[in-house]
Each structure stands twice: as C-alpha cells, then as structure tokens.
Amino acid sequence: MGRLSRERWGLEKKLAGVLSRKFLLKGSLVQKYKACNKPGCRCTRGELHGPFCYLSVSQGGKTRMIFIKKQHWPRAKELSTNYRQWCVFWSKLTTNSAQTYH
C-alpha cells in the first residue's frame, strides 16, 4: 500500500469516527458579557453580566448570533468541535484524493 493510500485510509477512518457521533453544529461558539444599563446596576461600574453563550453563524453573508442556554453549552461545544474535525478531515481527504489521481 502506497503512502497516499495509507494516508487516505487513515483519514477515512478518522472521518468515519467523527460522523459516527452523528451530529455536527456549524458555527463558532462565543461567550459575551453585556451591560443592562439600569441605574445603580453593577454593570454601570464596569462589572458586566454574563458570560452569555452564543453560536455565531454566517447566513447569506451576514453574521447571526444565536443564544445558547448555559445548560446546553457543553453539548454545543462538543457538536461544534465535531464539525470542525469533520471539515479538517474532509479537506485532507479531498486533497489526498486529488493527489492520488494526478
């Protein structure tokens, strides 16, 4: 088995591992702090509220922030990581395939 074939087999195995987790979440997870600006609130002194969790996604060329409840943050992080891993493996696999046929 040639070097490219071994690499491709390894990438296919990793990709299958990511896909076996079944769910992917496209986007970046961000934490934001906010001010409510109510008179006398601690945020008016610079102590902002938060962190609040958001999923940042691009839709139609615009960035959209989707609120994620705090209890769902660990699962969202896991699914977002799955998506990033899938992108990396898919990119490497398609590059490897192109090299195989040239």
Could you give the CA distance from residue 47 to residue 72 in angstroms, rounded to a whole number? 25
Could you give the CA distance from residue 6 to residue 22 in angstroms, rounded to a whole number? 25
pTM for the whole structure? 0.60
* DSSP letter assigned to residue 67: E
Could you give the CA distance from residue 14 to residue 9 in angstroms, rounded to a whole number? 9
Token reading at 84? 């990033």
The predicted-structure confidence for 2-14, as pLDDT tens digits, reads as follows 555 666 566 566 5
Q: Coil, strand, or helix at residue 66?
A: strand
Token reading at 10? 């390894």
The predicted-structure confidence for 28-47, as pLDDT tens digits, reads as follows 889 999 999 899 999 999 89
